[in-house]
Structure 1
Amino acid sequence: MQKIVPNIWCQGNAAGVGDFYAAVLPDTSAEVVASYPTEDLPDFQRELAGQPLVVDVSVGGYRLRLINAGGEFSPTPALSFIVNVDPSSFGSGEDEARAWLHAMWESFSDGGVARMPLGEYPHSQLYGWVEDKFGVNWQLMLTDPARGPQQVLVPQFLFTGAAARAQAAIELYTSLFPDSGRMLMPHQGDTEGVAFAAFTLAGQSFSAMDGGTDHDFTFTPGLSLEVDCADQGEIDKLWEALSAVPEAEQCGWLVDRFGVSWQIVPANMGELMQHPGAYQRMLGMKKIIAAEL
């Protein structure tokens, strides 16, 4: 079971975003898994009454979650998704894989922004970084089958600003989850920080790098990481270790000292939210107390 689920903040259009990704990404489906209550919503959510609240997108078995909300937040390139396109998973091999990758590039580029042109790079024979029309960033990569199976989507952290923070963040995150590990490649010469890091949290692949001061963006709640916790003890432990911005605490959301947004929630959150009045009680919480939902 996927313990850490990336969540994308959508501005009232989660169902449409899900349909778009299901059409663009290979082996992908989208499903509305929760809807807003039809009554007793706060004023800022009243126009969303009865509409989809959560849309789950499955990409080759890897789950993304779309949150249907307002215009408060947007994703940034600080958290992007590497899409590993493995030729061995396509019937016609590399030619079909390249065709899929080119088709994805065209779809994501339509109304979006090409951040690194599609082409050959030292790390891949075919790679490109593109921001789609919804503000979500994708790194499309043709992988080498000799490396073995790769996780189809790999979230990547890009730490920006004067201080090199990737290594410290990875050390914290890997200390909190079982089945975790890391491999760091430092920058060469006088440049501080991590050029590239591959690491696992709860058996899931992630990557990270330090981006320096040449970027005008950082992390936002527009792309967050949801952790499905087994019990209240695990919620309490992660909340204590991660939460560093008290004013950001709301409905299970927190922001850590590196600026990354997390949602620390019970694994059976969907079931708990079926209790009468649970949604309204959740709105009054900071850390989720499962027994009170």
Structure 2
Amino acid sequence: MPKFSTCLWFNNEAEAAANLYINAFEDGQQGKVSYYVDDEHKPKGSVLTVEFTLGEIEFMALNGGPEFTFTPAISFFVDCETEEQLQKLWNTLVLEGKVLMPLDQYPFSEKFGWLEDCFGVSWQLNLTGKKQCITPTLMFSNQKYGKAEEAMNHWLSIFGDGKIEGIQKNEDGTIMQAAFTLRGQPFRVMDSAGKHDFDFTMATSFCVYCENQEEIDRIWAEVTAKGKEWPCGWMEDQYGVYWQIATRDMNTLIDYSDPVRANRVMQALYKMKKIDIATLRDAYNNK
């Protein structure tokens, strides 16, 4: 199973967003839907998350509220195999959205365009002749300009089992673009010398699925060493990128077929920053 999934925080539009992406992309499929089990955050029974896959990439749409908004600091680079495929995807995603770079020919691409969809999520569509593939792309700008290569190497050292697929550098040594993988998940980074009024936000985070408490402890310590701890397994690294840490069996522990039990587990989760699997299992078993 994949090591990562991308979590997208929506203002109560998770279901609509997931449906848009599943229908827009080839091989889109919906996965598990989870629900709020108390009235503290949202009405009991309302949708909390919708899991879905686009190709081989896992996503999670979260109904979080208006606190965070998407920015182009994290976009999704899409390799498109044919011009027809690219045009269809562009026409679907740009509807009620915003064009950041018009769909056109550029020195670096026969056909490329950058847009924000109606929910504010940014997509870079590129005609490459390759099978459709989606890659999270992180842009380092303003005070973080020149940090892309450092961040890439930092993540490779933490998560392991990854490699740099290719690097293009600017004349000043910063990264024009670099492609790398972490546990088979593709990522891209780039430095942007332009001044931008946006940065990374909690609207886009990356869930890391750990094998056991030992791996949780190690990754949590390394990510937050120069970063910040957040509640419920969320963490922020030294570059301002947000990650969530979990294990696959958390889906079993938060079993919505038993709302009372699920609420016990969620109440235990709300009290945590770093995930403590033993405590969640005790709540599940009502110990």
TM over 0.5: yes
1:124 deviates by 2.6
Residue 178 (structure 1) shift: 2.7
1:46 equivalenced with 2:42 (yes/no) = yes
Kept after mapping to 1: 8 A contact 2:112/2:126: yes
Aligned to 2:30: 30
State the shift of 1:210 in Å: 0.7
The question of whether the paired residues in 2 share the 8 Å contact of 1:11 and 1:70 is answered with yes
State the SS of the aligned residue for 1:242.
helix
The corresponding residue for 1:279 is 266
Residue 171 of structure 1 aligns with which residue?
A: 153
Q: Does 1:221 align with 2:202?
A: yes
Q: TM-score, normalised by structure 2?
A: 0.89
RMSD, matched Cα: 1.7
Task: Identify the match of residue 131 of structure 1 among 108, 112, 116.
Answer: 116
Q: Distance in 1 between matches of 2:181 and 2:19?
A: 29
Note the C-alpha offset of 1:213: 4.3
Partner AA of 1:18 in structure 2? A
1:231 maps to 2:227: no
Give the aligned residue type for 1:74: T
- Work out whether residues 30 and 57 of structure 1, in 8 Å CA contact, stay in contact via their aligned partners in 2: yes
Aligned AA for 2:12? Answer: G
Task: State the AA in 1 paired with 2:161.
Answer: D
Cα deviation code 1:76-98 (max 9, x no counterpart): 11111111112xxxxxxxxxx32
- Describe the shift of the 1:28–1:46 C-alpha distance in structure 2 as closer, same or farther (beyond 3 A): closer
Work out whether residues 34 and 270 of structure 1, in 8 Å CA contact, stay in contact via their aligned partners in 2: no
The residue number in structure 2 matching 1:93 is none
CA distance in structure 1 between the partners assigned to 2:27 and 2:107 by the alignment: 28
Residue of structure 1 in register with 2:277 after alignment? 290
Deviations 1:168-209 (A, max 9, x none): 101100011232112332211xx3521111111112211100
For residues 46 and 239 of structure 1, what CA distance do their matches in structure 2 show?
Answer: 28
The 8 Å contact of residues 32 and 52 in structure 1, kept in 2 or not, is answered as no
Asked whether the equivalents of residues 53 and 67 of structure 1 are also in contact (C-alpha less than 8 Å), the reply is yes
Q: 1:1-293, aligned counterparts within 5 Å?
A: 1-37=1-37, 39=38, 41-42=39-40, 45-47=41-43, 49-86=44-81, 97-145=82-130, 152-162=133-143, 163-182=145-164, 183-188=166-171, 191-243=172-224, 244-246=226-228, 248-274=229-255, 275-276=261-262, 277-293=264-280
Distance 1:6 1:46, change over 3 A: closer
**Structure 1: distance between partners of 2:111 and 2:203:** 28
Distance of 1:107 and 1:270 partners within structure 2: 32
Residue 209 of structure 2 aligns to a residue whose secondary structure is strand
**2:48–2:63 CA contact under 8 A, matched in 1:** yes
Shift of 1:32: 4.3
Structure 1 residue 34, shift from structure 2 partner: 1.2
Q: What is aligned with 2:284? A: none
CA positional deviation for 1:30: 2.5
- Report which stretch shifted further, 258-267 or 54-63: 54-63
Give the TM-score normalised by structure 1.
Answer: 0.87
In 2, the alpha carbon distance for the partners of 1:222 and 1:255 equals: 12
CA offsets per residue over residues 93-118 of structure 1, 9 Å max, x none?
xxxx3222112212221111111111
Residue 220 of structure 1 aligns to which amino acid in structure 2?
T
**C-alpha separation in 1, matches of 2:207 and 2:125:** 23
**Aligned mates of 1:212, 1:61 — CA distance in 2:** 32
Contiguous gaps of at least 5 residues in structure 2 = 256-260, 281-287
Q: Tell me if the contact between 2:28 and 2:52 (Cα under 8 Å) persists in the aligned partners.
A: yes
CA distance in 2, matches of 1:21, 1:226: 19
